[in-house]
Structure 1
Amino acid sequence: MTRSACFITLEGLDGAGKSTHIPWIEERLRRAGVDLLSTREPGGTPLGEILRELLLHRPMDLRTETLLMFAARNEHWRTRILPALEGGQWVLCDRYTDASFAYQGGGRSLGAEPVRILEDWVQQGRGPDCTLLFDVPLETARERLSQGRAHSDRFEREDAAFFERTRQAYHARAAADPGRFRVIDARRGIAEIRAELDGILEELLRARGYAPVSAASAPPAASGTSPGSPA
């Protein structure tokens, strides 16, 4: 079977724990022979990283925020993600367009339709093959954030109602596209979560012509942060 590329995204509330698992996922895929691009949003390009700093730390109108998110995403998609996929690489991205549906569309109550219009314009019908949604109750996410962050960005400082709307929007996205989403109960221990992730990755690898390497034979991933913010 000819090997083919795969676009995997990771989503979830700030504090859901997804970034804890990104180095492990990277190592798991590379041990299976995958040529991997690991990246993040907002960011992923020199311009995107500049826009990221503005988005996380400068107050702005909601429409400005949404447009800047998609400006960074367009640059990311056109200059890094799409060329990687077309060249046969796999792409692992910490957040993508589902985050805009959740945070701007849901949390900030913009609604899904403006986000969908921008998604169609930028991505022209192409998107992730698999989305890992790390899901925890709001109380768990807030507790983890309070223990792990010295300084919060302007999204993390939002109130509980904002994050409940964000979580509900994520769940609506997952319910509407169950073939793409894998909802991970991130309240569990790391070993249990990684056992589930291993099964998902093995399925993706086999479907694209790779002979998976057992996670049991892989050394533990080094501790530290992923390319995305620790979330």
Structure 2
Amino acid sequence: MLNVHSFESLGTYDGPGIRLVVFLQGCAFKCLYCANPDTITFEGGTPTPLEEIMRKARNQRPFFGKIGGVTISGGEPLWQAKKLKILFRQLKEEGFNTCIDSNGNVLTDDVKELLKYTDLVLLDIKHINPGWHQKITGKRNDTTLKFASYLREKEVKVWMRYVLVPGYSDQPEYLHEMGKYFQEYENIEKLEIQPYHKLGVHKYEHLNMEYKLNDVPENTLEQLQVAKDIFLQYFKEVIIN
């Protein structure tokens, strides 16, 4: 069983091609801008047999084409790596493309085995600076950086993702520092800049949670372009989502 928050059919945002996206419940990060705060708690969710997920994947396979497949997102999916590695092994045996959307905060033997059956990792980097990372997520970034290094060592393909939050993660000096840190990582195919948005704010009200970035404006086009120009000095491809 995997503890599932929700499913998205025919997703076009979480990896290559058209995909079945499975959102798992539970995350140790508490990102100030989290758009899905209902996935943070490890309680709740729906215990779902692996065979049910396989059935959904098989049913949607005609839409996947040559590059589509299955993406596991969250929450943070690596907390459920023990069961997830079994699912991914089955998916690979049947020829599905597999992708994990992760903040890289878990690196266990189960995670390492899971990565053997993973075609692509969407790696969410919150901030390169440990202090700012703690301010944004409540946790340091040590494990995330170790996870990124392990992906490089094992030559797992990575699309890096970075949410650009005005005043929190858009400081030019740290964008340069992040670029310099990762510029030799040949396994990083591209970096995706995620503009900061407030589409999930209504969920905080529903959950009686305080949204702490109410005063933070969304990005201007100029801010996004400045970040893109900086990252292009270090990464092969940079896109603004």
TM-score bucket (shorter structure): 0.3 to 0.5
Query: Could you tell me the TM-score, scaled by structure 2's length?
Result: 0.37
The TM-score normalised by the length of structure 1 is 0.38
More strand by share: 2
